[in-house]
Chain A
Amino acid sequence: MTREILIYAQTNREHKILNVVLELSCAAQELSKKLDNCIIAALLVTDGTNLEQNKNILKQNGFDKVYIAQNTEFKNYNTKYYSNIAINLINEINPEIVLIGATTQGRELAPVISSRLNTGLTADCTGLDISDEGKLVATRPTFGGNLMANILCKNYPQMATVRPKVLKISDYPLEKNTEFITINSDISNIEKDVEIVDFIPNIQLTDFRIDEAEIIVAGGKGMKSKEGFKLLKELADVLGGSVGASRGAVDLKLADSSIQVGQTGKTVMPKTYIACGISGAIQHTVGMSGAEKIIAINKDKNAPIFKIADVGIVGDVFEILPKLIESLKERR
């Protein structure tokens, strides 16, 4: 039997394939080289919307096979339906590896599949490799990034969820002679125990998606007021980035908890993180120390944020930020 790496081709609410699927495909090409060039397959669960476009995207991005489960019931994501489709397919094709994006959906779907198959799943990985023995080595941060662990799986398939935006998409085209296979999508005997009754798109979130932003301008208690956060928004807009906040700022109601970065908020890995008036307690830094470049502005030269900053400016955010915004606007 041909060995396969199976990737869950997650789509968004408009039924478009997510970028993380393409990132996983690129990583899988590398893994495949160490696994006798095994096949890379996608599972696409669809109600038929955008089907041709999605098939084309998968064809252009390195998938040898695409398994399609189509049913009008698949208009909205449902964990029970989708996990059943995936489990039936996995039982049939016995893939070596199953990869799923570590999105809110992926992080619900993956453990349901793995626990029903009684196989191992490594959560929220930042790196994938193949060991000398041909096993998947999944690397993940634990304790808020203070420690990395390489995790292996005793059973098959070896499963992992992988953080979006961590793996790189290759620049060269990876068009394949893709085989499209329709699979059984009957879910009539499955009880639907969760129903979506409403959805409110969060305009603030869609405007600047903090999880995906390449630049984050974050504020702490030192921003003092909602007006202070308007400055951050202005700077983020000029730079094409998102606004983030520390827990201190959220607790003072200066910012919404949906943009909180840190232990009880989000873990972000932007290219640039500009920390304004953030002292840099460990609870905050565990959520952002993975940023490629950290710029910190703080009045207190002893603020712990300076210990992890690439560039630290001891100064007043209310003097520096307006001038910075002005200078950046002039340069554009």
Chain B
Amino acid sequence: MNIAVCIKQVPDTAEIKWTENNTIDRNGLESVINPFDVYALETALRIKDKYENIRITALTMGPPQAEEIIRKAISFGVDNGFVITDKKFSGADTVATGRTIANAISKCIENVDLVICGQFATDGDTAQTGPTISTNLNYALATYVKEVLNIENGFITVKKEVEDGIETLKLKLPAVICIQKCDYEPRRPLIDGFIKAQKAEIPYYSMDDIGLEADKVGIKGSPTYVSKAFRPEQKHGGEIFENLTTQESVNKIIEALND
């Protein structure tokens, strides 16, 4: 069974710079794997621990330096990975991104049964790319997944957390699942994983490689655009009270609650 895990490199700090076109300037930012994608990787690796003949491919769309996070994924135990990168991809919104990633999955990996994404990326926070990948591939979809329960006879059963409780869903494979924070700790890199990661060949695929045209990708292929980006008003930063007695503290809080 082939699993594709979609991961994204996100800035690690609150230092965000925007280009003149109001897209994110990723130059010089410290980057990490999107925290939700770490859970997506862990979910894939847990499936590999439990079942035979599982092959996991990690892929990312981004600038060439996103190769780092693919190596990192390999150090965790992922089998291989690649980067989808092309200047023409820049400025893509979720519709264009989902289309690009879906095309890469069907062109560059054979017979993918399961695509795993993180529920959100901490930079964009749209939660739309996973569902968009599923529509482009015409795969079954479940979002807000907390746990994979089992995979058998062409079906995957998952637990999904919604506002009022936990649903158990049975999806026909092939499927796309989007993972939210799980109740378990993601694993740390393996020692031989580091060596494997260093040695691994990470192919880059361009727009031509994945068979898309310029009007379907990047800013041209995106139906939305940012017209303005602005920092919200900093409304907080009030009074701090030190050396109050317990009763005075209580009174202050009650005053604030009634205000």
Where the two chains meet, the residues of A that have a C-beta atom closer than 8 Å to any C-beta of B are: 12-13, 79-80, 103-105, 107-108, 110-112, 114-116, 118-124, 131, 137, 141-155, 191, 193-202, 205-206, 209, 211, 239, 257-258, 260, 263-265, 272, 274, 282, 289, 293-295, 297, 301, 306-315, 319-320, 323-324, 327-328, 331
Contacts and interface: CB of A to CB of B under 8 A. Distances in A.
Given A289-B236, A293-B256, A328-B254, A313 B226 contact: no
Given A149-B226, A151-B227, A199 B259 contact: no
A147 B225 contact: no
B165 interface: yes
A145 B122 CA distance: 10
Contacts of A196: 167-170
A310 B256 contact: yes
Closest 3 CB pairs of A and B: A120-B223, A120-B224, A193-B140
A114 B95 contact: yes
Contact of A144 (B125, B225, B249): B125
Contacts of A313: 240-241, 244, 249, 252-253
Interface string B38-70: 000000000000000000000000000000000
Given A294-B236, A309-B238, A313-B244, A118 B223 contact: yes
Interface string B141-183: 1111000000000000100011111111111100100000111
B199 interface: no
A123 B127 contact: yes
B256 A311 contact: yes
Contacts of A147: 16, 18, 229-232
26 contacts: A104-B143, A111-B94, A111-B127, A112-B135, A120-B223, A142-B125, A142-B229, A148-B232, A151-B227, A155-B223, A193-B175, A194-B141, A199-B168, A263-B122, A295-B256, A301-B242, A309-B237, A310-B239, A310-B256, A311-B239, A311-B241, A313-B241, A315-B244, A320-B253, A323-B247, A331-B254
A257 B132 CA distance: 27
A310 B236 contact: yes
A154 B164 CA distance: 36
Contacts of A121: 94-95, 128, 224
B98 interface: yes
Nearest to A239: B257
Given A143-B123, A202-B165, A315 B142 contact: no
B250 interface: yes
B94 A108 contact: no
A300 B134 CA distance: 47
Interface in B168-212: 168-172, 175, 181-183
A211 B163 contact: yes
A148 to B, nearest CB: 5
B22 interface: yes
A194 B223 contact: no
A154 B225 contact: yes
Contacts of B240: 301, 306, 309, 312-314
Contacts of B124: 142
A311 B228 contact: no
B163 A310 contact: no
Given A147-B231, A193-B171, A327-B254, A79 B141 contact: yes
B76 interface: no
B136 interface: yes
Contacts of A103: 163
Contact of A112 (B126, B134, B183, B259): B134
A319 B246 contact: yes
B131 interface: yes
A202 B165 CA distance: 4
A206 B162 CA distance: 11
Contact of B16 (A12, A146, A151): A146
Given A143-B11, A146-B232, 17 more contacts: A79-B141, A111-B135, A119-B95, A120-B222, A141-B232, A143-B123, A148-B229, A152-B224, A199-B165, A201-B164, A209-B164, A264-B35, A310-B239, A320-B246, A320-B253, A323-B247, A324-B253
